[in-house]
Structure 1
Amino acid sequence: MFYRFCCKLTKKLKSFTLAKKKIVFYTCGDNKKQANAAYLIGSYAVMHLQKTPEEAYSLLVSRNSTYLSFRDASFGTCMYNLNILDCLRAIYKALQFGWLDFSQFDVEEYEHYERAENGDFNWIIPGKFLAFSGPHPKSKIENGYPLHAPEAYFPYFRKHNITAIVRLNKKMYDAKRFTDMGFEHHDLFFVDGSTPNDAIVRKFLNICENADGAIAVHCKAGLGRTGTLIGCYMMKHYRLTASEAIAWMRICRPGSVIGPQQNFVEDKQISLWSEGDVFREKMNEQENGKLAVTRILSGVDDITINGSNKSRMSKKEEYSDDEERNGITQGDKLRALKSKRQARTTTGSLSMPSPHGLGILYYFNECHICYFKGSHVGTSNENPKENVIVVEHLVPTWTVCRQLCTPMAVGFVIPWQASGSTLLEPLRHRVARVLSGVSAF
């Protein structure tokens, strides 16, 4: 929304026909909409009008205006508030560090991949951290939410130099499915909705500081635990405040960092700033030839963190191994909420191609159930993805589809009623199940 707002306002400001007119941005009396509108126009002032966060915020409150704070996505009592100034400061820092660059931003790609049926992932720091919903043993629809097997992510991860995966939830899939394909895979489990201990924080930082490429991090929904640890890295290595880190993550991936995790991130700010200062000092010494170390590991060897989390231990951490696998957890609730929210937005202004038929898309060893427009789509020289709406990724069935086309074809779409569709008959029940669970179509 921020990107589209900026594009629309910039276009009006540069319009020759509007050159002598004032542009008024307004909203209704709803307090929530007023806060959202203030965030949009304030962020525009920071990004495009070279205002500092404080200057932009002072304009918003110059007439004693007050705005609602932003809260987390949990279902309980609000424990932590973010205000508009926190968000403006997050935008300002993101511009400084090069995380926010609309000249390089692909809004269509962002909106595509943030949808549950297309992977449910977002870049938090471009080229460094990708947050995503936890993979499942096989692709399917569960409680209205599309789940994806690890193989569904391989093409995108390879294309964007993601070399390591960090799993924070219980084991729902075999890690070998990633490692056998050349990815590093790390398990750092802690309970859904809880906060990590210092050992987990140190291990996470160690992994990220030594990764050769980008890191994909997931828990169950890819929001709470995922955002908490990425936030720790941002505070240590970029000296963001806790509120700036949380605000930026929610701008990139709404719903990130939940409940007591917000207070945990705030409590860790000072110690992580100190660790980051020492880390950078050591790195500078290494670059200046004062140290013979060729690789500095995460953490500071001469600093001990004295178990600051012990006071936070509660009965919530007396956890059954099967609870997250079989029970309804916070992650399940958040994924269900996100799925419903996206289904609503699809019926609005989001532009989607008009589907003309159901088919199977095969493209560079990827296989999907899809809708397509036109009588047929795809040749050996075209990208058929441009003309389809992907419904579900299929891992084990692409070889069946390949039998229907020349082996030289790079990509193609097979209409469901195509000749030889008896080969697709085993998939018919799967398609029916997908269609019953995907309200976007």
Structure 2
Amino acid sequence: MTNGSAGGISSETDIIGTASEIIKDRLYFATLRIRPKSSVRSHYFSIDDEFTYEHFYSDFGPLNLASVHQYCTKLNKKLNNPSLAHKRIIHFTKVDPKKRANAAFLIAAYSIICLKRTPEEAFRPLISGINTTHSFLPFRDASLGSSSYNLTLLDTLQGLHKAILHGFFDFENFDLDEYEHYEKVENGDLNWIIPRKLLAFSGPHSKSKIENGYPLHAPEAYFTYFRKRNVSTIIRLNKKIYDAKRFTDAGFEHYDLFFSDGSTPNDAITLKFISIVEQAKGGVAVHCKAGLGRTGTLIGAYLMKHHKFTAAEVIAWLRICRPGSVIGPQQNYLEEKQAWLWSLGDLHRIKDRSRNVPGFSAHSAVDLGTHNSYRYTVGENNNVEEEKEGEITQGDRLNEIKARRMQHHQQQQHHHTNLL
């Protein structure tokens, strides 16, 4: 066999010897230049062209929750297939650093979800042996230009693991069909970040129509699904494109917390957002223009306060659920606010406990003197410069890319149908 790898490997024995061993004598991960042939002793497979990331700009991953679920299902079938029972199974990937990072993410996600390993345990085999000289390309945001924030492979695993610990993802009960249906722009372009609690979606418009190939949905288009999923509250972060009364007249609560596209919220907006979510009777649906940047940032802040995600973990989880979330300076904003949000969460939990302890003072346990955000009002938002009418902003460009994607998929399906 003449298989070339990152290290010039030429035999099956060499491939196994330098591959990452995930399950002893059974499951491996390898980086190879040439596709090897399966043998009596080994079964090779690759997902590089099966599970692909739909990028906005220079972003390339991590792959989304649907891909994670499908990969785990695929690998479980291989491991339980009687015809492969006595074979070593090798998931191989290309030398292409982007494909390699996504492939490594999937097999490590499998280790966490199905083998019940910690992120560190899942990550360790991937950086052992020959792999120590071939690091994994960090993931980046969906913005134009150079990246200001690296999201490492380990970050993505830690974000996924923490989400599982908090019950946000259950492999056995995950509804793959619903996820794939509603993430499509023509079906609402929405994703749950915290099931039954927080949903991110693309901003509704004044009426349902197709504009430049992109489906725009009126508020009414969401009513049936929101009621079915017990969504009680809508939070709008972008300028007014539809009349909020259309939601409130239908029995939903509606709030406006505007800040400019691509920017970060001030503390008053962040506190108000978290307060609304805390007090909501049901699920909360959050949108800006594309439902990625501003939306992801504030949902991330809630997760950091209430579930003590690190900034990197929350960015990772948001992007696994809804690729493209949290963009540019919003990434650094979450890093900068991490300690503050954690302290707010600590205070919140102490207050909850103190309700049942007579004479206990929560304020004696946590000193908020270093951060006086409670004194702010939403009206003091320093990002209140209104977007000019007709101005093309980051959200518009991201929606345009989604529209082109949808048209491309439809053309492919039409071509495939004609071939049948």
1:301-338 C-alpha deviation (Å, 9 max, x unpaired): 96563579x9xxxxx9583x352x42111000111112
**Equivalent residues of 1:223, 1:255 under 8 A apart:** yes
Partner of 2:337: 268
Partner of 1:358: none
**Residue number among 201, 206, 230 corresponding to 1:161 in the alignment:** 230
**Residue number among 94, 105, 110 corresponding to 1:28 in the alignment:** 94
2:65 corresponds to 1:7: no
**Residue number among 338, 349, 361 corresponding to 2:402 in the alignment:** 338
Q: CA deviation at 1:205?
A: 0.8
Sequence identity (%): 57
Partner of 2:307: 238
- Residue type matched to 1:20 in 2? H
1:144-182 C-alpha deviation (Å, 9 max, x unpaired): 211100000000000001000000000000000000111
**Equivalent residues of 1:39, 1:84 under 8 A apart:** yes
Instruction: Return 5+ residue gaps in structure 1 as ranges.
Output: 294-299, 311-315, 356-441
**Equivalent residues of 2:179, 2:191 under 8 A apart:** yes
Q: How does 1:247-396 map to 2 (within 5 A)?
A: 247-288=316-357, 303=369, 305-306=371-372, 317=383, 319=385, 321-323=386-388, 325-345=389-409
- Residue type matched to 1:339 in 2? A
Cα distance in 1 for partners of 2:93, 2:411 equals 22
Partner of 2:291: 222
- Residue type matched to 1:165 in 2? I
Partner of 1:400: none
Cα distance in 2 for partners of 1:46, 1:236 equals 24
Cα distance in 1 for partners of 2:298, 2:415 equals 35
Mark the CA change 1:25 to 1:143 in structure 2 (over 3 Å): closer, same or farther.
same
TM-score, with structure 2 as normaliser:
0.76
Q: CA deviation at 1:271?
A: 0.6
Instruction: Give the SS at the match of 1:273.
Output: helix
**Equivalent residues of 2:266, 2:383 under 8 A apart:** no
**Residue number among 161, 166, 171 corresponding to 1:102 in the alignment:** 171
**Residue number among 121, 124, 134 corresponding to 1:55 in the alignment:** 121
**Equivalent residues of 1:32, 1:68 under 8 A apart:** yes
**Equivalent residues of 1:286, 1:292 under 8 A apart:** no
Instruction: Give the SS at the match of 1:26.
Output: strand
Q: CA deviation at 1:287?
A: 3.9
Mark the CA change 1:2 to 1:304 in structure 2 (over 3 Å): closer, same or farther.
same
Partner of 1:118: 187
Instruction: Return 5+ residue gaps in structure 2 as ranges.
Output: 1-66, 377-381
Cα distance in 2 for partners of 1:54, 1:151 equals 45
Q: CA deviation at 1:125?
A: 0.5
**Residue number among 76, 83, 104 corresponding to 1:17 in the alignment:** 83
**Residue number among 78, 83, 91 corresponding to 2:147 in the alignment:** 78
- Residue type matched to 2:119 in 1? P
Q: CA deviation at 1:341?
A: 3.0
Deviates more, 1:57-66 or 1:152-161: 57-66
Q: CA deviation at 1:351?
A: 12
Mark the CA change 1:111 to 1:261 in structure 2 (over 3 Å): closer, same or farther.
same
Partner of 2:267: 198
**Equivalent residues of 1:197, 1:307 under 8 A apart:** no
**Equivalent residues of 2:101, 2:153 under 8 A apart:** yes
Cα distance in 2 for partners of 1:337, 1:69 equals 23
- Residue type matched to 2:106 in 1? L
Q: CA deviation at 1:104?
A: 1.8
Instruction: Give the SS at the match of 1:44.
Output: helix
- How many equivalent pairs are there? 340
Instruction: Give the SS at the match of 1:326.
Output: coil
**Equivalent residues of 1:163, 1:184 under 8 A apart:** yes
**Equivalent residues of 2:265, 2:383 under 8 A apart:** no
Q: Aligned-residue CA RMSD in angstroms? A: 2.6
**Equivalent residues of 2:213, 2:407 under 8 A apart:** no
Q: Of the two structures, which has the highest relative contact order with CA contacts closer than 8 Å and spacing of 6 or more? A: 2
Q: CA deviation at 1:77?
A: 2.0
